[in-house]
């Protein structure tokens, strides 16, 4: 697999803005934790399911999933600063969540490791097809890849291709926000 160029920290970026400015927000995606709850319900986690939160940011969704669904959550984010912030948050809430620094395009996990992988409002900023393939790679057969993202009205080619390769469980469209859950082949 081709390696992606490392993030150029000298150039302006969304990551740099979020890292350096306190926006006064813990949930950085539209719809807040209610959308996280909906996504969790679409990916029917069993208690102690291993869930990967891709581009986990401040860790709010990961903390929510563990506290409310009993999931064993691992978060991964390109920003070490965000991963550290998420670690502090989980510790303050007495939650056992691992947060790693890593690139969504090259997830630092073995194949077939998680029961589900989710990403909220981030895939639209990345190489969609590559990130979705990476999420599918780390999810076990019969597992779930759940996305909540901002997309064009016309579904991206990456999502169309992912839907063809998987059995689509459910998808919804709300004012430009797309929720899609793909169940892997059993």
Extents of the domains making up the chain: 28-183
Q: What is the pLDDT of residues 9-68, one digit of tens each?
A: 555 445 554 455 454 545 455 557 788 888 888 887 778 999 999 999 889 999 999 999
Q: What is the pLDDT of residues 112-125, one digit of tens each?
A: 999 999 998 777 77
28-183: what fold?
Answer: Rossmann fold (3.40.50)
CA angle at residue 60 from 162 to 3, to 5 degrees? 45
Q: Is the pTM of this model over 0.75?
A: no
Q: Are the beta carbons of 62 and 97 closer than 8 angstroms?
A: yes
Q: How far apart are CA 170 and CA 180, in angstroms?
A: 6
Q: How far apart are CA 158 and CA 71, in angstroms?
A: 28
Of residues 177 and 58, the one with the higher pLDDT is 58
């Amino acid at each position: 697999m081709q390696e992606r160029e490392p993030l150029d920290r000298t150039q302006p970026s969304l990551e740099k803005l979020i890292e350096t400015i306190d926006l006064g927000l813990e949930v950085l995606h539209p719809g807040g934790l209610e959308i996280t709850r909906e996504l969790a319900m679409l990916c029917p986690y069993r208690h102690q399911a291993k869930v990967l939160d891709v581009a986990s940011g401040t860790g709010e969704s990961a903390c929510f999933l563990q506290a409310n669904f009993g999931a064993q959550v691992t978060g991964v984010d390109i920003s070490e600063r965000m991963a550290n912030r998420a670690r502090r948050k989980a510790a303050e809430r007495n939650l056992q969540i691992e947060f790693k620094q890593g690139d969504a395009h090259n997830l630092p996990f073995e194949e077939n490791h998680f029961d589900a992988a989710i990403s909220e409002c981030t895939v639209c900023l990345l190489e969609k097809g590559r990130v979705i393939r990476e999420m599918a790679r780390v999810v076990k057969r019969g597992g779930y890849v759940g996305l909540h993202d901002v997309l064009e009205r016309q579904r991206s080619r990456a999502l169309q291709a992912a839907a063809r390769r998987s059995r689509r469980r459910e998808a919804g469209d709300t004012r430009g926000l797309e929720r899609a859950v793909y169940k892997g082949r059993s």
